[in-house]
Structure 1
Amino acid sequence: MSENHEAVAPAPGATRLALVSDCGDCFGLCCVALAYAASADFAIDKPAGKPCPSLQRDFRCGIHQKLRTSGFQGCTVYDCFGAGQKVSQHTFGGRDWRAAPESAASMFEVFPVMRQLHELLWYVTEALALPRARPVHAELDAALRETEAFTLLAPEALGDVDVPAHRDKVNKLLLKASELVRAEFKGKKKDRRGADLMGARLTGADLRGANLRGALLIAADLRGADLRLADLIGADFRDARLSGADLTEAFFLTQSQLNAAQGDATTRIPQSLVRPAHW
């Protein structure tokens, strides 16, 4: 195990690159540590701590190119925000759970914790890049440093982090940033926070500046909708139809949300994200 486990203050400004999954530097943690049940997203049941049957000796997926057609759509949607390689290469110093089986239980336990912390880093980093959120940038930078410091803790200390309490504190700052950014749109803003919009017909809807935090947009028809300056943190876009939709200035949107949706070449997305291969 690496000896570098002190909670030291990191250099400011976590980059988006460090928060993007790099499976080549990970020990297949999402394929082992997490549990899933047979459903529309997964073809089989798998308990936490048991390797997926498709996980190979080199920690790569044996059916990566045909996950969707094999019934593992959930795998194509999941994003660890770079937590997998952080746990593998930093927290456990590059020693994998097969070579060091005594570390397996601890590694699998801290992976979900690291994933939550890295997700927060993603949102805070984005908020710091939003000029309209400048009034809270100092507080956001402090939150970024604190969160980064948590990710550098030793496994035992990392497991003791009160993530819900920290998430609540950070979320208050993200809400302030959201209000500042959405204020740029001067028209009437729709508040659909946590709304049940499953299957809703929102074709061509003007959702500029809308609060869609945690909204259930499963299978919603958002073709041609304008989502610029909309807060999309935690919105469920599974099978949402986004053809022709404009998300270019939407914020707190993640790659996993896009991966879960149905879009095409006419869907406009933020430059920081990648157009899903299945669109």
Structure 2
Amino acid sequence: MVARSVITIRQERLGKELRKLRERAGLGLREAARATGINEGKLSNVEAGRAGVSAERVRFLAGHYGAGGTPLVEALEVMATERVRGWWEEYRGRLPRGHLDLAELEHHTGHLRTFEIVYIPGLLQSGEQLRASYNDSTWGTPEEQRELRVQFRRRRQEVLDRDDFVYEAVIHEAALRIKKADSGVARRQLKHILEQAERPQVTVRVVPFDVDNFRVGFAPTILGGPVPQLDTVLMDTPHGGNFLDAEAQLERYRRAFAAVQKAALGIVESKDFIHRLAQQM
């Protein structure tokens, strides 16, 4: 068996979920190998995402772990049969892996929820805003790399064209007011958000400055999986995005997003708010 030279985030997640099933069954790697008759090294590679696994093998392992027939295992079987080489693979080796991981997750999710405090959500950025966001060469990013990132994000935005994709963005007023360029760019960005919010699958809501008792100080993005256990949370940091999938982490950020939704204006009120703000720019 030849180990994969490139492991995608979905392959990694499939292996991780199989490991979780084994651990919940109280089996060590060596015990599981003996019980299933699978070579211990191969089983280790499968759980690390370094080796492929068939849907039949997923079902076989889940049965030995006492988890057969569940919606989670059925979803893992589907993941095992995927043979998708997405458009993002064109950028492998040219952009950091996190960019490709996010595009892959967006491709496979049907429901994405995001909250932003100081940035316009990437999928809602206008072309001008995109270039302004990547135009600060003081961060040491060469011009060619900045242009590549702009191009990549424009490709990512095509996910909003999907009829089966539900996008829910909650944006703090601070992000709407911060000017990455001049007032004209900021005004057109707000109008772009309003245009995108007219799509039936896109919801945009605003958390204004004057909301009382607002305590959420971080900005999670929750990418929905086919079952809740396969959700993924993205947390942006100055050094890149962190993808989180532990059950406790998922639950924490679901609660945080529920608090954000509770604090936000309604859909119509949010559109009116953005329209008024655009007029002030």
TM-score normalised over the length of structure 1: 0.23
Task: Answer 1 or 2: which has greater strand percent.
Answer: 2
Task: Answer 1 or 2: which has greater helix percent.
Answer: 2
Task: Pick the structure with greater CA Rg.
Answer: 2
TM-score normalised over the length of structure 2: 0.23
